[in-house]
Amino acid sequence: MREAYPVERAVGIEQFVSDAEGVGGRLRESPEDFRVREVERFEAEPAEADVDSYPYLVVRATLREWDTNDFARRLSDDLGISRERVSWAGTKDKHAVTTQLFTLRKVDSTDLADVSIYDAEIEVVGRAGRDLQFGDLAGNEFEIVVRNPDRPENASEIRDQLREWAGDPLAVPNFFGQQRFGSRRPVTHEVGLRVVREEWEEAVRAYVANPYESEPEASREARRAVADHFADRDWEAALEATPKRLGFERAMLSALAESDGNRPEDFRTALEAVPSNLQRLFVNAAQSYAFNRILSERLARGLPFDRPVAGDVVCFAETVDGLTVPDPGRSQRVTDNRVETVARHCERDRAFVTAPLVGTETELGDGEPGDIERAVLDDLDLAPADFDLPGEFHSTGTRRAILVRTDLGVGSGVDGGGEESGDDDSGTALTFDFALPKGSYATVLLREFLKLDPADE
């Protein structure tokens, strides 16, 4: 297997499954080249439904180059409400055109009349009795264009190698993608690991004062200045050195400036100054990093991903609008005498082998899969009990499918609307059409085909 790039190995992804050279090319040349639409399973009542019984307004937003958190903040500002009253089921890529649902607590459809947000189309869907949650998302449909591929003919060979590895339809390891950890600055899991160890000051430092070569020079300079101010606890100077565009960093530093900024609880309060979903993401990223490490070790040992071995834990799956969605809530431990029976369920996509997203209630596997899980957690100095934390940092954990399957369509054409123009100077393009269950990353599938260094994107 081919070795992954350094920035991928930094987040626990060690290998590629396919050995063929990638098609290369350019990804996300424009936001329109990366389109995402949610596969929804959230029931809404008509917009005229009683507000007292259905206090949540449900809207569908199509966003061009908007970070989900930033859009939620802008929408709440325009509506004059708290950001916490805006909810959604899944965070989407910023450099894309995305379509997803949002719920707005105690907002009327008429309140949207004066809302005008650049590159955002908002459509009222109806009303609901509760807010959107992660479980309300079945998956996402993708249409992704790769411009000027160097070796477009290699797409077929890569597809064949992936099918040879784990059968048909093709599959890839269900790694967490770079954006889980920060595409330009992959530090979210580093923050999370320190949170889980209750190293509150080091967690704040890792987020606000840890420059990366891949971010703009102005940001690196600001972080270096903040690092200097940590020593003398001059939080006002640190805040002044931090540009306004680094909003979450400024929120943490503002909280430190308002407190003594010396006690462990001051740093925990600073971490709690960012939105609750980002607080959860810190811990989730630590779990995701451990998960990626477990999958990489399983690949290195040559254990199968498409069928179980003794000691594995599998989860069963459901179908939503033709999309197969693993359900970690329905799981089964695989004993020696059940391996073949469960393998047949996996062959029919009725069950998937899982690995842990470790938390307080996580049960680890047995046999060799369990040995891998425990070895990775030991190396990271993590244990399920460590996730018994205050507030949004607490996590009970779960398990997650280690394989993601999809029916992949690959088409070729010419840049500029996707139609043949007869212009010999036009570059070629490949279009990838597929759907993935919630929590799985399009970039993880595409990395097998493009084999581009994420640091260069």
Reading the block at residue 264, the tokens are: 């462990």
Query: Can you tell me whether residue 215 is helix, strand or coil?
Result: coil
CA distance 352 to 316: 6
Give first-to-last CA distance, the chain, whole Å. 23
Q: Token match 């493009």: residue?
A: 450
Q: What are phi and psi of 30, to 5 degrees?
A: -145, 155
∠44-48-53 over CA atoms, to 5°?
65
Burial of 417 (0-12, 13-18, 19+ CB in 10 A): exposed
Residue 59 · residue 32 · CB < 8 Å: no
> Which CA distances in Å does 207 have to 126, 210, 276, 315?
38, 6, 16, 35
Burial of residue 114 (number of CB atoms within 10 Å: 0-12, 13-18, 19+): exposed
> Residue 93 catalytic?
yes
DSSP state of 391: G
Q: How far apart are CA 394 and CA 198, in angstroms?
A: 11
Q: Do you know the residue count of the chain?
A: 457
How is 266-282 classified by DSSP, letter by letter?
HHHHHHTTS-HHHHHHH
Whole-angstrom distance, CA of residue 406 vs CA of residue 445: 9
Q: How far is Cα 207 from Cα 242, in angstroms, rounded to an integer?
A: 12
Cα–Cα distance between 231 and 228 in angstroms, integer?
A: 6
DSSP tag of 129: S
Q: Alpha carbon 177 to chain centroid distance?
A: 6
- Which two three-digit tokens encode residue 411? 């088409």
Rounded to whole angstroms, how far apart are CA atoms 176 and 356?
Answer: 13
Q: Which of 52, 70, 78, 93 is catalytic?
A: 93
Active site residues: 93
